[in-house]
Chain A
Amino acid sequence: MAITLEHVGLTLDDLEILNDVTATINAGSFVSLIAPSGAGKSTLLKILTGLLPISTGSVVVDGQPITGLNTTFSYLPQEDMLLPWLNVDQNITLYQRINHQTVDQDHVTELLTLFGLVDYRHFLPRQLSGGMRQRVALLRTMMNPANYLLLDEPFGALDAMTRGLMQDWLLSLPTALKRTTVLVTHDIEEAIYLSDRILVLSARPAHVVQDISLTPTTRDREWLATQAPLKTEIYQLLREDSDVK
C-alpha cells in the first residue's frame, strides 16, 4: 500500500509546473509537501485526485495507475467547500449520500463529539466560526472511507491562534482515525509539528530537493521549540529556490 510518483512532469499552456517529481509515500505515514509559493504543491494533489493529467511519468496508488478522476483519495481542498444550504450533519455525510450508503447515526454522533461539533450538528455553515467550518470540512474528509487523505492547506485561512489549536487537535485524534495523509502547507512549523516526513519541493518547475524524516518519541509544542535548526534549514532551502530573495 503506497503512493508512488515516478518522474512526474506537468506542463500547462507551455508553462512547466512540475519536473521529474519522484517520491514514495508509504501507507500509514503523514507526509507534508512544502515549497515556495506558487511552486505547484496543490497541483500535485490535483494530479493524485485526477483533476489534472500528468504530462510525463507515472502515478501509481496501491499498484493501480492513476489515469483520471478517481475516488481513491479523500480530498480536502483549500476552500472548505461546505454547501451553504446543508447543515453540519448533512455536510459531513455528503459522501454517504452521494454513494447511497446508510449513515450510522451513532458513529456520526461519536465523531461529532470528538470533533467538538455535536452541539452544532444542525447549524448551517454561515452560523459557524472559521475554525469550526474547517473542522466540519475535515470531518467530512474523514467520513470518506478512502485509505488516503489529501489535505490542501486546511488551516491556511485561519488566524495563528486557531491554527495552532487545530494542529494540536489534529494530533490528538485517535490512531484509528489516522490514515495515510498528504498535507500541503506553506507553514514550515506546521509541517514539522504534524509530519513523519517532509518533502521540500523547489520553485517552479517543482521537484523534490529534500526528503526529511521525523521520528520524535513525543510530539508536542516543547519538542517543536527544539526544532528551530530544522526550521532554519527548510527556510534556507525554500529561500534558495524562491523568486523573492
Chain B
Amino acid sequence: MKRKLYPLGSLVLLLAVWQVAVTLLKTPAFILPSPVAVVQALVADAAGLLTNSWVTLYESLIGLVIACLLAFGTALVMDRWQLLYQSFYPLLVISQTLPVMVLGPLLSLWFGFGMAPKVILVVLMSYFPIIVSFSEALGKVSKEQIRFLQTMGAKDWQVYRILKIPQGMQGFFAGLRIAATYCVSGAIIGEWLSAEAGLGYYMIRVKNGYQIDKVFAAIFCVIVLSLGLNIATRSLQKLYYKTLIQGRSS
C-alpha cells in the first residue's frame, strides 16, 4: 500500500507546485494553464473529449490487435524455420531504429485520410516490440526441456503447444505492454497528420484556438488511455495464465 502512496504523494506535490507557480507568476493561460483550469476544461468539454477519445481508442485497439496477430504468427514461423529467423530477425531489429512516425505523411498519401493510415501507423509502432520480445522468449526455451518432451514422443506442434508457446507468452506480454503504450501515440500522430476526429485532431484544433487548457485536458485523456491499455494488458496476462492452468486441468 505504501509503495502506491509514495508516487501518488509525489504527483499531488508536483501538481501543487505547478498550481502555486502559475498563480504566483501570473502565467498567461495560453502559455501554461493551472491544473485547476485543466480540470475545469476537462469537465466543461467532457462530451467532446469522450467522443474523440473513443475514436483514438478504437484506432489504437484495431491496430494493436492486428499487430498482436501478425507478431504472434511471424514469431512462430521464424522460430520454427531458423533460416527465416536468421534472414529476417536482424532486419527487424535494425528496422526498430527507424522512427515509424516519419512514415506518417507517406501513409496519408497512399491510404487517404480515413482510418487506414492511423491504424497502419499503430500496427507498425506496436508490431516490433511484440515480435522482438516474443521471438527472444521463444528462443530462450531450454533445449534440454524440448528434447525431454521429444523423448516422451512429443511432435513439433506439441512442443509448441505444451512448452514453447506457454513459456514464450511471458515475452509476448512484455512486448504487448510496451506496444499498448506506443499504440495510442501512433494513433495520435496519425490524427495530427490528417483526421476529422480523435484526440490528435482535437489537440490540433484547440491549440490553433490557443485553448491550451483543453490541450492539457486532451493530454490527460491520452495518459488515461495509455495507462488503461497497460492495465488491461496486465489483466489479460493474468487471465491467460489462469485459463492455461484451469484449461489444462479439464
Q: Hey, which chain B residues are within 8 Å of A81, CB to CB?
A: 144-145, 148
A155 at the B interface (CB under 8 A): no
A12 at the B interface (CB under 8 A): no
Q: Hey, which chain B residues are within 8 Å of A124, CB to CB?
A: 245
In angstroms, Cα B244 to Cα A97, docked, is: 15
Interface range, A side: 20 to 34
| Cβ contact within 8 Å between B152 and A51 | no
Can you list 12 pairs linking A and B with CB atoms under 8 Å apart?
A: A49-B147, A50-B151, A51-B147, A77-B144, A81-B144, A81-B145, A81-B148, A85-B166, A90-B248, A90-B249, A94-B149, A99-B153
| Cβ contact within 8 Å between B158 and A75 | no
Q: Hey, which chain A residues are within 8 Å of B153, CB to CB?
A: 71, 95, 98-99
Q: Residue B244 contacts which of A49, A69, A77, A85 (CB distance < 8 angstroms)?
A: A85
Query: How many whole Å from A152's CB to the nearest CB in chain B?
Result: 11
Given the interface pairs A87-B245, A94-B152, the reply to whether A79 lies near B162 with Cβ below 8 Å is no
Q: Hey, which chain B residues are within 8 Å of A79, CB to CB?
A: 144
- Known pairs A70-B151, A85-B248, A90-B249; list 8 more (Cβ under 8 Å): A69-B150, A79-B144, A81-B144, A85-B241, A87-B248, A89-B249, A95-B153, A99-B153
In angstroms, Cα B155 to Cα A99, docked, is: 10
Given the interface pairs A71-B153, A90-B249, A94-B152, the reply to whether A83 lies near B158 with Cβ below 8 Å is no
Number of A-B contacts (CB under 8 A): 54
| Cβ contact within 8 Å between B151 and A75 | yes
Query: How many whole Å from A196's CB to the nearest CB in chain B?
Result: 24
Per-position binary interface string of chain B over residues 18-42, scored 1 when its CB falls under 8 Å from any chain A CB and 0 otherwise? 0000000000000000000000000
On A, residues with C-beta under 8 Å from B are: 49-51, 69-71, 73, 75, 77, 79, 81, 83, 85-87, 89-90, 94-95, 97-99, 122, 124, 144
Given the interface pairs A85-B166, A98-B162, the reply to whether A75 lies near B148 with Cβ below 8 Å is yes
| Cβ contact within 8 Å between B163 and A83 | yes
CB-contacts of B202-250 with A (<8 A)? 241, 244-245, 248-249
In angstroms, Cα B53 to Cα A114, docked, is: 60
Given the interface pairs A85-B244, A85-B248, A86-B245, the reply to whether A144 lies near B152 with Cβ below 8 Å is yes
4 closest cross-chain pairs (CB), A and B: A71-B153, A98-B154, A49-B151, A90-B248
A94 to B, closest residue via Cβ: B152
Given the interface pairs A77-B144, A85-B166, A90-B249, the reply to whether A71 lies near B152 with Cβ below 8 Å is yes
B245 to A, closest residue via Cβ: A85
Q: Hey, which chain A residues are within 8 Å of B166, CB to CB?
A: 83, 85
Per-position binary interface string of chain B over residues 143-184, scored 1 when its CB falls under 8 Å from any chain A CB and 0 otherwise? 011011111111000100011001000000000000000000
| Cβ contact within 8 Å between B162 and A83 | yes
Interface range, B side: 10 to 19
Q: Hey, which chain A residues are within 8 Å of B241, CB to CB?
A: 85
Query: How many whole Å from A136's CB to the nearest CB in chain B?
Result: 14
In angstroms, Cα B142 to Cα A77, docked, is: 13
In angstroms, Cα B148 to Cα A220, docked, is: 33
In angstroms, Cα B147 to Cα A90, docked, is: 19
Query: How many whole Å from B151's CB to the nearest CB in chain A?
Result: 5
| Cβ contact within 8 Å between B152 and A87 | no
Given the interface pairs A79-B144, A81-B144, A83-B162, the reply to whether A69 lies near B151 with Cβ below 8 Å is yes
B153 to A, closest residue via Cβ: A71
| Cβ contact within 8 Å between A71 and B151 | yes
Query: How many whole Å from A108's CB to the nearest CB in chain B?
Result: 13
In angstroms, Cα B152 to Cα A75, docked, is: 8
A140 to B, closest residue via Cβ: B152
In angstroms, Cα B152 to Cα A67, docked, is: 16
Q: Hey, which chain B residues are within 8 Å of A69, CB to CB?
A: 147, 150-151
In angstroms, Cα B242 to Cα A53, docked, is: 40
Per-position binary interface string of chain B over residues 85-125, scored 1 when its CB falls under 8 Å from any chain A CB and 0 otherwise? 00000000000000000000000000000000000000000
| Cβ contact within 8 Å between B158 and A98 | yes
In angstroms, Cα B152 to Cα A49, docked, is: 10
| Cβ contact within 8 Å between B162 and A73 | no
In angstroms, Cα B152 to Cα A51, docked, is: 12
Query: How many whole Å from B140's CB to the nearest CB in chain A?
Result: 14
- Of the listed residues A70, A73, A83, A90, the one surrounded by the most CB atoms of chain B closer than 10 A to its CB is A83
In angstroms, Cα B133 to Cα A94, docked, is: 28
